[in-house]
Amino acid sequence: MTNSFNNAGLFLISTLFNLYLVILAIRLILAYARANYFNPLTQIIIKCTQPLVAPLRRLFPTYRGIEFATLIWIIIFEAAKIFLLSTLTFGMPYLTSLLLFSITDTLKLLLSTFFYAVLLRAILSWFQPSSSPASEWLEQISAPIMRPLQRIIPPINGIDITPIPALIILQLFIILLP
């Protein structure tokens, strides 16, 4: 019985942290991609993260499209999640391993966010080729990955195949991270 409650607690902690981490990762990517600020989906992300990010933006301004305040919060949340989960399962983690795992998990989170944005963009393009706030939003999120590949790989008979190598490359990097 205790094990069930422990597993439920671990699941709840992991899920709540992961939900907010994805929102923070999307904000970081939106800032980097210089996405349309007035898109309704972007507004939701900004409103969910602004109370947390705004105070740190004064200390850590955006540089070359990277919102360092958001990146720092992602690393802090990853470290807190890893600390809580490992403390509840194994005991106190070492500070160096906590920092290392939080940085690698941050990289995995960003790569996974790009992966799902590219995948959803490709699927949405099959069913809904017209522009909508969601398709525009996914296009802007996946643009940092897709644009360089689109310069190299031309469309074949009007079909953009760049999502395929993009997904393969992203998944390869996710697998290679420790």
User: How many residues are recorded in the chain?
Assistant: 178
Q: Rounded to 10 degrees, what is the CA torsion of 48, 37, 130, 144?
A: -90
When the pLDDT of each residue in the chain is averaged and rounded to a whole number, the result is 90
Query: In the chain, what percentage of residues exceed pLDDT 90?
Result: 60
More confident residue, 14 or 62: 14
Rounded CA gap, 30 and 50, in Å? 13
pLDDT at position 165 is 94
Which residues does 87 contact at the CB level (< 8 Å), separation at least 6?
A: 93
Instruction: Give 146-151's long-range contacts (Cβ < 8 A, gap of 24+).
Output: 146/118, 146/121
Q: Which of 139, 111, 145, 113 is nearest to 125 (CA)?
A: 139
pLDDT at position 9 is 86
More confident residue, 3 or 173: 173
Model confidence pLDDT, tens digit, residues 60-87: 988 888 999 999 999 999 999 999 999 8
pLDDT surpasses 90 at 173: yes
Name the residue ranges covered by the structural domains of the chain.
2-176
